[in-house]
Amino acid sequence: MLWIQSFPIVFVASWFAGLFYLPRIFVDLATVPSLDLPVCAVVTKPF
């Protein structure tokens, strides 16, 4: 029964972690310079 009591604490902790981490991911994605080539062309380009 202890896991039932600890579920709300784990849920709230993970919720706040996601709440504070998601804007960081969005800012990182917004600051990435855009590529001129499509992603598939970059991935499939032979070395």
Domain positions in the chain are 2-44
Phi and psi angles of residue 35, each rounded to the nearest 5 degrees, phi first = -90, 150
d(CA 39, CA 14): 32
pTM exceeding the 0.85 threshold for the entire prediction:
no
Which two three-digit tokens encode residue 17?
């972690």
d(CA 44, CA 24): 30
pLDDT in tens, the chain (47 residues): 888 899 999 999 999 999 999 988 888 888 877 655 565 555 565 65
Task: Indicate the helix (H) or strand (E) that contains 28.
Answer: helix 2-31
